[in-house]
Amino acid sequence: MLDRMLSGAVDAPLVAYLHGHGGIGKSALLCYAAQQAEPAGRAVVPVDARLSDADPSPPRSSPGR
């Protein structure tokens, strides 16, 4: 997926949601991805979601909206 994101293809994902157990290398993978993205001209925006809801589904609208 990382290669696809860096390709700049029109249908390439713009955001990846990475989660998993502690100590399996998520931070190392993200550091590698950032190192690959910046020279390819892709924007890197770090987001720390440790305190957010673990459900990656889009937010739901309030009833009646």
pLDDT band at 28 (very low <50, low <70, confident <90, very high): very high
Average pLDDT of the residues of the chain: 79
Is residue 48 one of the residues assigned to a domain? no
Mean pLDDT of 33-40: 84
- Give the residue numbers spanning the domain of 20: 2-37
33 versus 51: which is more confidently predicted? 33
Is residue 33 one of the residues assigned to a domain? yes
Please check the confidence at residue 24 and state whether its pLDDT lies above 90.
yes
CA neighbours within 13 Å on the CB side: how many for 8?
A: 8
Is residue 11 one of the residues assigned to a domain? yes
Is residue 22 one of the residues assigned to a domain? yes
Structural domains counted in the chain? 1
Is residue 31 one of the residues assigned to a domain? yes
pLDDT value of residue 56: 64
29 versus 12: which is more confidently predicted? 29
Is residue 58 one of the residues assigned to a domain? no
